[in-house]
Amino acid sequence: MVDHRSRPGWVEVEDFLSETLVQGGPGMDAVVGSIDAAGMPRIEVAPTAGKLLMLLARIGGARRVLEIGTLAGFSTIWLARGMPSDGHLITCEFLPEHAAVARRNIDAAGYGPMVDIRVGAALDTLPTLLGGDPYDLVFIDADKGNNTEYLKWALKLTRPGSVVVMDNVVWEGTILDPGSDVDAAAIRAALEFMGASPELEATAIQTAGSKGWDGFAIAVVK
C-alpha cells in the first residue's frame, strides 16, 4: 500500500490552514505540550478538526455535550469553547493518568466548572447517564473496537436533531481491507451501522494532514 503519510504538502497545508483560520492561541499550544510532557500518545485531533468541533457545538447551540475519549482534554476544550458558559460537558476517559492531565488543562483553560471527567471504561459510564436530559452533541474518539456500542449508546442518550461525530473512520484506508486490522474491521462495522440505522442520517469526510490519511463521520439523529 502507498504510504500516504509521506505525501508532501499535506502537513504544510494543514499548518497554513491552522495559522490562517484556527488561531487556537497559546492555551491550546500548552495543551499539546502537556501531551508530549506526560509521554502520552499524540492522538489528539488536529487543530483544524478541533475547531470544527467548536463550530459544530456553536452552530447547533449545544448546551449538553458528551465526549468519549478525553486524552489530555484538547478536543474537550475545543468543544467547550463552542458552548455557552452554563453548558455541561461530560467526557469519558479510561486512564486516570490521562484524566489527571486533562483536568489540569481544562481547569487552566477556564472550563473547569463546565466539564465533568468520568474516569473508567466508557461502556461502564454511559449507562449511568440514562435518565438525564438528552445530549445535543456526542463526540466518539476512544477505543475503536467499541465504536458500534458507543453509537448505540449515543442513540439512547440523544434526541432528534442531536449531532453525533465519530473520529478516525478511514484509518489509512484500511476500512477497505477489514481483515488487515481489528480496529479497521470495527470502524467499518460502525460505519455500516450508521448507514443502516433508521435513526441516523450520516456522511463521512476523508481528511489528510498531520494525522495521516483519516476522516470523520457526522450524523444527525432523526
Of 38 and 220, CB closest to ligand SAM: 38
Least Å distance, CB 102 to ligand SAM, is 8
- Contact region for ligand SAM (CB under 6 A) — 2-10, 141-149, 173-181, 208-216? 141-149
Q: Taking CB under 6 A as the rule, does residue 155 contact ligand SAM? A: no
Neighbours of 20 (CB within 10 A): 8
* Rg of the chain, C-alpha, whole Å: 17
Q: Look-up: residue for cell 441516523?
A: 200
Helix or strand (DSSP H, E) at 186: helix 182-196
Of 112-131, binders to ligand SAM (CB under 6 A) are: 121-122
Least Å distance, CB 222 to ligand SAM, is 26
Of 92 and 170, CB closest to ligand SAM: 92
Least Å distance, CB 43 to ligand SAM, is 4
Query: Where do the DSSP E strands lie in the chain?
Result: 64-68, 88-93, 115-119, 135-140, 158-167, 200-209, 212-221
Of 136 and 149, CB closest to ligand SAM: 149
Of 68-107, binders to ligand SAM (CB under 6 A) are: 69-71, 74-75, 92-95, 98
Least Å distance, CB 179 to ligand SAM, is 23
Pairing of strands 135-140, 115-119: unpaired
Residue 19 has φ and ψ, to the nearest 5°, of -65, -35
Of 83 and 122, CB closest to ligand SAM: 122
**Stretch 24-63: interaction string toward ligand SAM, x if CB under 6 A:** -------------------xxx------------------
Burial class of residue 184 in the structure, from the number of CB atoms within 10 Å of its CB (0-12 exposed, 13-18 middle, 19+ buried) = buried
* Cα 189 to Cα 180: distance, rounded to the nearest angstrom: 14
Residue 79 CA: distances (Å) to CA of 75, 106, 127, 187, 191: 6, 11, 22, 23, 23
Binding stretches for ligand SAM (CB under 6 A) = 43-45, 69-71, 74-75, 92-95, 98, 121-122, 141-143
